[in-house]
Amino acid sequence: MTSNKPYAEVIGDPIAHSKSPLIHGFWLDALGIDAEYRPARVAVDGLNDYLSHRLADPLWRGCNVTMPHKLTVASRMRDLDPLATDTGAVNTVVARGGAPFGYNTDVAGILEPLDRPENAIGDYPNHVATYAQVVGAGGAARAAGAALVRRFDLEFYNRTPAGAVELAARFGLPDHYGMGLDKLGPVRNPDEGAGDQRYSHVLVNASPMGMAGRPALPVDLDAYHADTIVFDMVYAPLETPLLAAARARGLRTIDGLEMLVAQAAVAFEMFFGAPPPRDRDDELRERLLA
């Protein structure tokens, strides 16, 4: 595809499901910016060629990065921002002077919905920790770890336990803070006996489980604390089995579109030099759900 307009892209494999072109296109139209944002399917063995060709194009402003490239693309960058360094994952590449610079805007995308007043975590006695559980071990899980490690007593879970252990170590946590999915369940205050209150307050699915064609996250939400927030980064489908189960139990939920829009807003300003019109989020969400 050729164009005489500045453009940015989202890359991944697969990529047809991505809603990023709709989000960025909506903002470009709303602001009257004469530029494009489009999807580009890039296989694992084509990443180097993709970057080489795009960096030679003065119209290319950069790209967002989705599966399976968030970890591997980091090593191709001229420099990384601190969050990309902390996570080892890049979801936004910005072209400057013909060189690629890597950023992680997923962290901002996670924190924005959690920081809304309706998602505040209650106050508890000093001996009670507030817990967060992150499922997954890829780039999205690393972003969740960076976002949550300073706020919560954090644990990681993964289908392959070694991946969760490795991620726990990345954030300075002991090995036993990384576990297999068979251990996933509500965290119990060790000072209280069986059947007493559980203190898991944020459960984040940062894995592909729950995506169309993938198995659901194997967790029973019945015993989780009543003010638990269930945050599912999956957005295809938007109503995952995990979120449906959480809503049926009256738990607070954050869906994948909330994170997707929040992280996209940071990247948009990097690409096109203007903040997106977030006062039109409701209209944007309607279009995303149409």
Residue numbers of the domain that contains 59: 7-104+260-281
pLDDT digits (tens, 9 = 90+) for 201-211: 899 999 999 99
Supply the pLDDT for residue 199.
Answer: 62
Asked whether residue 1 is assigned to any structural domain, the reply reads no
Mutual orientation of helices 281-289 and 256-272 as an angle, nearest 10°?
120
Helical (H) or strand (E) element with 100: strand 99-103
**Rounded percentage of the chain residues whose pLDDT exceeds 90:** 83
Using 50, 70 and 90 to split pLDDT, how confident is the model at 90? very high
**Distance (Å, rounded) from C-alpha 256 to C-alpha 265?**
14
Do 83 and 122 share a domain, yes or no? no
Region 126-133 average pLDDT: 71
> Quick check: helix, strand or coil at residue 13?
coil
pTM: 0.90
CA 23 to chain centre: 16
| Count of domains forming the chain | 2
**Distance (Å, rounded) from C-alpha 282 to C-alpha 2?**
33
**Rounded percentage of the chain residues whose pLDDT exceeds 70:** 92
Using 50, 70 and 90 to split pLDDT, how confident is the model at 125? low
Do 77 and 144 share a domain, yes or no? no
Residues found in the chain: 290
Asked whether residue 63 is assigned to any structural domain, the reply reads yes
Do 73 and 150 share a domain, yes or no? no
Contact 157, 135 (CB under 8 A): yes
Supply the pLDDT for residue 201.
Answer: 83
Do 50 and 179 share a domain, yes or no? no
Whether 19 is a known active-site residue: answer no
Asked whether residue 253 is assigned to any structural domain, the reply reads yes
Give the C-alpha distances (Å, rounded to integers) separating 212 from 146, 215, 234, 235, 285. Answer: 27, 8, 9, 9, 20
pLDDT digits (tens, 9 = 90+) for 40-55: 999 999 999 999 999 9
pLDDT digits (tens, 9 = 90+) for 214-264: 999 999 999 888 889 999 999 989 999 999 999 999 999 999 999 999 999
Supply the pLDDT for residue 263.
Answer: 97
Check pLDDT > 80 for residue 127: no
Region 127-138 average pLDDT: 83
Region 159-186 average pLDDT: 96
Asked whether residue 21 is assigned to any structural domain, the reply reads yes
Using 50, 70 and 90 to split pLDDT, how confident is the model at 121? confident
Residue 123 half-sphere exposure toward CB, CA atoms < 13 A: 0
Supply the pLDDT for residue 283.
Answer: 98
Instruction: Tell me what the pLDDT averaged over the chain comes to.
Output: 92
pLDDT digits (tens, 9 = 90+) for 2-41: 579 999 999 999 999 899 999 999 999 999 999 999 999 9
Asked whether residue 287 is assigned to any structural domain, the reply reads no
DSSP states of 26-54 as a string?
A: HHHHHHT---EEEEEE--GGGHHHHHHHH
Supply the pLDDT for residue 52.
Answer: 97
